[in-house]
């Protein structure tokens, strides 16, 4: 009888300890910060809710948009970082010293060879779970192009695009849409076209000078002039400085815009405005004779864990949950990109045929992530908005770029 009582007491204690452990874990709240657009943010929240339903662990997903980088810099300076955050292309160069190495995670061997080198440091260490592989170019509206008789296969050079802009402008539609209320949308144009202007052509390749600090910043004038040409020739939406992303996405969905220099994530929102919208994406046009169109790509949705978080076990568990096929697909589809794992396929709907069409086109890294010091994404935003508003001249833009480049190196 005594043995039975002891056994029952032992069992009760074990159950009590298990219950306490489960209760403690269910009380954990993980903070996850991101700069994702609205529909991708909602996809993260959807996955976080599934995780909470399964584990009892709450993930507080917070989006900070254009303020994200400034906030993260402040948090790094004070060592007051969230449990997890999206590294937006900077997992190695900017954030690696704050992140937990992840090579020992069970999902590591699934990472696609297309993204693994991008997120690895010189020792082969990774610090994020990649969810997709970024491949950005130019979005176009099929109906608008058909209306003016433009075949995308004829659009190879910037001059080809200018001729297309003129035809679209002639029918009273907007050749190029930009939501400049968020200056990141103007900076995106500078960032993706800079490789064509300053890197791709052997006779105009300033990669070495940009990397070693000897770049003559008068060569940046060509980038400023390229952006200004869109404005001065009436190719941009007139409300560029007050229009936000959803506004221009809606116009694109309603066949009012021909082209947009944005990531493929915008397509999901366009389809919400018009489920039958016909949009595609294509490579960025060449600038110099003899060069070819390219895509810009690399790290997009990638999540890291703060190495000093008190909730490391739970945070790594969330990463493992994100790495499941159905959850990775949710995020990658919302972003309009291919998944980062070799064994995960994503139905990208109307974009699928363009991924297949341009599978062999060269992909260059984002200009600012390789050739500019950390922190100059903010400078690109300031320069882009300043040029369009008239607050900065081409010379002013050059001096600001040079000043921040030297200050941040």
pLDDT at 20: 45
Structure tokens at 140: 């176009």
pLDDT at 25: 52
pTM of the model: 0.84
The answer to whether the CB of 33 falls within 8 A of the CB of 83 is no
Q: For 135-298+354-408, CATH number?
A: 3.40.190.10
- Cα dihedral angle (116, 117, 123, 126), rounded to 10 degrees? -30
pLDDT at 67: 86
User: What percentage of the chain reaches a pLDDT higher than 90?
Assistant: 86
pLDDT at 21: 46
pLDDT at 5: 45
Q: Which residues of the chain have pLDDT under 70?
A: 1-26
Helix (H, G, I), strand (E, B) or coil at 21: helix
Domain boundaries, the chain: 27-133+299-347, 135-298+354-408
The secondary structure element, H or E, covering residue 198 is: helix 184-198
pLDDT at 23: 46
What is the DSSP code (8-state) at residue 283?
P
The answer to whether the CB of 301 falls within 8 A of the CB of 308 is no
Q: What string of H, E and C letters represents the secondary structure of 300-349? A: CCEEEEECCCCCHHHHHHHHHHHCCHHHHHHHHHHHCCEECECCCCCCCH
pLDDT at 66: 81
The answer to whether the 27-133+299-347 and 135-298+354-408 domains have the same CATH topology is yes
What is the DSSP code (8-state) at residue 253?
H
Q: Is 122 exposed, middle or buried (0-12, 13-18, 19+ CB in 10 A)?
A: exposed
Helix (H, G, I), strand (E, B) or coil at 368: helix
Choosing among 3.50.50.60, 3.40.190.10, 3.40.50.2000, 1.20.1260.10, the CATH entry for 27-133+299-347 is 3.40.190.10
């Amino acid at each position: 009888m005594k043995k039975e009582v002891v056994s029952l007491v032992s069992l009760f204690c074990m159950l009590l300890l298990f219950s306490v452990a489960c209760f403690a874990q269910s009380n954990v709240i993980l903070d996850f910060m991101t700069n994702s657009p609205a529909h991708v943010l909602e996809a993260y929240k959807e996955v976080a809710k599934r995780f909470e339903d399964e584990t009892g662990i709450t993930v507080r997903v917070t989006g900070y948009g254009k303020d994200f980088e400034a906030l993260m810099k402040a948090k790094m300076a004070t060592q007051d970082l969230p449990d997890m955050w999206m590294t937006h292309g900077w997992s190695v160069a900017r954030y690696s010293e704050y992140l937990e190495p992840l090579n020992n995670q069970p999902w590591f061997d699934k990472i696609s060879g297309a993204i693994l080198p991008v997120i690895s440091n010189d020792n082969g260490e990774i610090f994020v779970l990649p969810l997709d592989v970024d491949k950005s170019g130019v979005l176009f509206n099929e109906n608008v192009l058909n209306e003016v008789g433009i075949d995308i296969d004829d659009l190879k050079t910037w001059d080809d695009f200018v001729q297309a802009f003129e035809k679209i402008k002639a029918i009273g539609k907007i050749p190029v849409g930009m939501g400049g209320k968020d200056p990141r949308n103007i900076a995106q144009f500078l960032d993706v076209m800079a490789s064509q202007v300053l890197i791709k052509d052997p006779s105009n390749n300033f990669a070495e000078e940009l990397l070693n600090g000897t770049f003559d910043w008068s060569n940046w004038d060509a980038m400023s002039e390229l952006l200004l040409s869109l404005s001065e020739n009436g190719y941009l939406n007139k409300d560029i400085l007050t229009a936000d992303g959803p506004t221009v996405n809606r116009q694109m969905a309603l066949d009012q815009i021909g082209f947009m220099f944005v990531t493929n994530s915008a397509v999901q929102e366009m389809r919400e405005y018009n489920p039958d919208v016909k949009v595609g994406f294509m490579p960025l046009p060449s600038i110099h004779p003899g060069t070819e169109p390219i895509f810009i790509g690399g790290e997009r949705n990638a999540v890291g864990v703060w190495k000093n978080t008190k909730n490391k076990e739970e945070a790594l568990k969330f990463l493992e949950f994100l790495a499941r096929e159905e959850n990775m697909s949710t995020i990658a589809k919302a972003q309009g990109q291919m998944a980062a794992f070799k064994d995960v396929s994503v139905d990208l709907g109307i974009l699928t045929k363009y991924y297949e069409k341009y599978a062999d086109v060269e992909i260059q890294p984002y200009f600012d992530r390789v050739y500019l010091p950390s922190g100059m994404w903010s400078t690109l935003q300031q320069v882009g908005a300043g040029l369009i508003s008239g607050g900065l001249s081409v010379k002013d833009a050059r001096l600001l770029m040079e000043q921040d480049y030297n200050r941040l190196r």
